[in-house]
Amino acid sequence: MTKYKRILLKISGEALSGNQGYGIQDSVLTHLSSEIKNIHDKGVQIAIVVGGGNIFRGIEGTTLGVDRATGDYMGMLATIINSLALQNALEKAGMDTRVQTAIEMRQIAEPYIRRRAIRHLEKGRIVIFGGGTGNPFFTTDTAAALRAIEIEADILLKATNVDGIYNKDPNEFLDAEKFTELTFSMAYEKNLKIMDLTAFSLCKDNKLPIIVFNLFEKGNLKKIIEGKQIGTIVH
């Protein structure tokens, strides 16, 4: 029995680089595929948004003299590279997938169409949304929140390399306090950097709960789907 029928999983681009700090690490794709297959086999409908920070981050392009809008479009292309890499890994693991992009590039992926995405999910296909929202100045966190609301996902799962939300960086402070549960108001009042404000507001206004968890601890994704307390839930 699963607690959630349809989820949106947000994976950062940096996560795909593993310990090498850039590019795409094959061992990470293998791990992600295994974790996703565990819940796919249970009949969970899975949509994914992946970032592009392991290849190019738009705001960093400004230091190279690239204007912000152009840099953001370059970042969107990076998310599509990551989406295709993840699609290949998932299909090698036996899962049927579709990549849909916010920027049309029909030779390599479908354009994003909400009804088609939902139909794919209903047929048991994993849908990967690439290209962010298709607009500069919006993060992939915002794209994740937007797509989750559009496809009527039960929850947004934000994968990180820490086991939830803390009052300060647990990698730097030994006395960092972990929250197991927060309301949107509490998270805002405590100024916790869960997502950018646009993404966070979208989730709050549309009553879409968020779970922040460590995807790199084996079995965590399956435990969440089964309703076990993993990471931090914001609702």
Is it the case that residue 116 has pLDDT exceeding 80?
yes
In the chain, where are the structural domains located? 6-234
141: tokens are 């966190």
Predicted pLDDT of residue 18: 86
The whole-angstrom separation of Cα 215 and Cα 94 is: 20
For domain 6-234, the CATH class is alpha beta
Rounded to the nearest angstrom, the gap between the alpha carbon of residue 9 and the centroid of all alpha carbons in its chain is 4
Please tell me the pTM assigned to this model. Answer: 0.94
**Element holding 100 (H helix, E strand):** strand 97-101
> Closest Cα to residue 130, out of 157, 155, 158, 108?
108
Contacts of 19-27 with C-beta under 8 Å, sequence gap 24+, read: 22/54, 22/55, 23/54, 23/55, 24/54, 24/82, 24/85
Predicted pLDDT of residue 61: 60
**pLDDT, tens only, 144-174:** 999 999 999 999 999 988 889 998 888 888 8
Predicted pLDDT of residue 192: 84
Predicted pLDDT of residue 58: 62
